[in-house]
Amino acid sequence: EREREERQRERERERETETGRERDRERERERERETERQRQGDRDRERQRETERERQRERERERERERGDDESLSIPVSLFPVGAFLVPYLFFMVIAGMPLFYMELALGQYNREGAAGVWKICPIFKGVGFTVILISLYVGFYYNVIIAWALFYLFSSFTGELPWVHCNNTWNSPNCSDLWAFNNSLNDTHKSTPAAEYFERGVLHLQDSEGIADLGLPRWQLTSCLAVVIVVLYFSLWKGVKTSGKVVWITATMPYVVLTVLLLRGVTLPGAMDGIKAYLSVDFLRLCEPQVWIDAATQICFSLGVGFGVLIAFSSYNKFSNNCYRDAIITSSINSLTSFFSGFVIFSFLGYMSHKHSVPLDKVATDGPGLVFIIYPEAIATLPGSSVWAVIFFIMLLTLGIDSAMGGMESVITGLMDEFKFLHKHRELFTLFIVVSTFLISLFCVTNGGIYVFTLLDHFAAGTSILFGVLIEAIGIAWFYGVDRFSDDIEEMIGQRPGLYWRLCWKFVSPCFLLFMVVVSFATFNPPNYGTYTFPIWANMIGWCLAISSMTMVPLYAIYKMCTLPGKFCDVSLVHISLVYISLVYISLMFNRAITEPSTRCAPYLGSSVM
């Protein structure tokens, strides 16, 4: 019995030992499985990183191909052929541009206030004054960056050899092809010019950013140039029109001299006449495309300064008896002629580049920064004495930019100072606050991915919102304050009552035109993009918040004013304003389907011709 018990205990010990060994083997197998899972996870993460690197290389190749074929983005249909653009441009100039220009000059001169203060004639519409002030402020956030780019190029031009001529720079990619060997390589989708790589890789450092979510830190070179621009703006504005008026003598006349010199040089280049012929050609099929009319209307607002509060701010400093009617006719006419004249300069060089590279003109032409900072520098680099021509060209850009930026900043400063009177005693400090604020926001545009912020601001800050602001401004003057009362004010100033044409435009034509353009701009809206890069949804939401923030100033201030008014006027005004807004929404819905329908049905009835 003892032997049996001993053997039983021995077997139990063996079983326990075997069980322990089995547990050890199971733990070992579990450790092996865990190790294998870790290795598999490492392999998966490595594959993901490799996939991301491949996507990055593919995006880089896409950018290179985008630059390689024509070195630029395609030109909008509203600008090529430009003759198709001139038709709606001149049409809108006559029925809306000049009347609105005249209206803002008279409004500022009679009331002697900024963009917000002039609405003491109809306080419920003061919100539109804050709308245009906000728009001017938003534009200043990115417009100063263009001047900083021009200043950077100007500093780079003081060299024996321009840095965008060759591919021996540290920022150049393997796909870069020297300018002198680039005659036929525009047909090679894997090539890019030194000028394109200098702008995107040397100036912007776009290769170091994957999108708007990867901005990086501000680059010290562009930040320094931006700081210089801000300092110049401050000392041009800190004493008001006393200083800005003197600076304008240089910034307003210098571009005419440089444009004339560039035109005389441009027309002597081979292929220049082909570019000028393309500039004057008209393709009436383009007139069926809503974007042509939207671009023409927006260009009217930008070129004349309507809707930015600039005209109201500057005219508020005029003498009360100044002939604002004469000023409106002369200034708007000279502005249009200047735009037409500058087109000859632009297309003479575009024709030259088309001839030099043996490619169609529409493969060379572009709009936006690409024209100014890629195509023109490349054309200038092929001329004898290229450094001198580059210095002349970028000095012109600087004077143009400073002149425009001064107008926008003066609109903000004058508009807020006239609304808040205590700021008059502290103009220097308030001006410093405004320009420093724009500088701080502009720092986002001088990072490695700053061009994406620039594109977003350019797309949303002053597109539909500027048309909306001018629309409400025209409605407030024509239908609330009254055309007859406004005409009496003008007669009191200049001794001459506006004619029937002006009164009809103010009351009917201009508001209808502006309403139509607002509806079209909403119906044909396209999200922004830069080359092949598409902005994420959250970036578009930020852009819309930016645009809506300025437009909502109109109803918000109207509600505030109506709630603070005593008596029954509040109820009457609320009904009146509500009817106006309901009408705008209803008309927008009516036009939405009509605008978005294909425009090809009018093609059989239209042809093309040459002016």
Q: Please report how the helices 82-92 and 272-280 are oriented relative to each other, as an axis angle in degrees rounded to 10.
A: 40
Q: 540: helix, coil or strand?
A: helix
pLDDT digits (tens, 9 = 90+) for 284-319: 777 777 777 777 777 777 788 888 888 999 899 888
pLDDT digits (tens, 9 = 90+) for 117-140: 999 998 989 999 999 999 999 999
Range from 81-95, 182-196, 303-317 carrying the lowest mean pLDDT: 182-196
What is the distance between the alpha carbons of residues 237 and 140, in angstroms, rounded to a whole number?
Answer: 14
Average pLDDT taken over every residue of the chain: 81
Give per-residue burial for 83-97: e unless 16+ CB within 10 Å, then b: bbbbbbbebbbebbb
505: left (phi over 0), alpha (psi -120 to 50) or beta: alpha
What's at 568, amino acid-wise?
K
- Specify the pLDDT at position 152: 95
Q: What is the dihedral of CA 424, 427, 433, 434, to 10 degrees?
A: 80
What is the distance between the alpha carbons of residues 554 and 307, in angstroms, rounded to a whole number?
Answer: 14
What is the distance between the alpha carbons of residues 61 and 50, in angstroms, rounded to a whole number?
Answer: 16
pLDDT digits (tens, 9 = 90+) for 530-585: 888 889 999 999 999 999 999 999 999 988 888 887 654 444 455 555 555 555 55
Nearest CA among 235, 26, 100, 60 for reference residue 509: 100
Binding residue positions for Na(+)? 303, 335, 400, 403-404
Nearest CA among 366, 28, 443, 321 for reference residue 196: 366
DSSP string over 143-177: HHHHHHHHHHHHHHHSSSS-TTS-S-STT--TTB-
Question: 71 falls in which pLDDT band (50, 70, 90)?
Answer: very low
- Specify the pLDDT at position 153: 94
Assess whether pLDDT exceeds 80 at residue 443.
yes
Question: 44 falls in which pLDDT band (50, 70, 90)?
Answer: confident
Question: 497 falls in which pLDDT band (50, 70, 90)?
Answer: very high
According to the 3-state scheme, what is the secondary structure of 60-105?
HHHHHHHHHHHCCCCCCCCCCCHHHHHHHHHHHHHHHHHHHHHHHH
Alpha helices in 310-449, H assignment, sequence order: 310-315, 324-357, 369-370, 376-381, 386-419, 427-442
- Specify the pLDDT at position 225: 96
Q: Residue 123 in contact with residue 573, Cβ under 8 Å? A: no
pLDDT digits (tens, 9 = 90+) for 453-493: 999 999 898 878 888 999 999 999 999 999 999 999 999 99
Residue 462, φ and ψ in degrees, nearest 5: -145, 60
Mean local confidence (pLDDT), 31-55: 78
Q: Count CB-CB contacts under 10 A for residue 79.
A: 20
Binding residue positions? 303, 335, 400, 403-404
Burial of 44 (0-12, 13-18, 19+ CB in 10 A): exposed
Answering whether pTM is above 0.85, one says no
Residue with tokens 């830190």: 217
What is the distance between the alpha carbons of residues 127 and 473, in angstroms, rounded to a whole number?
Answer: 10
What is the distance between the alpha carbons of residues 168 and 180, in angstroms, rounded to a whole number?
Answer: 13
Domains of the chain: 63-610 (1.20.1740)
Assess whether pLDDT exceeds 90 at residue 434.
yes
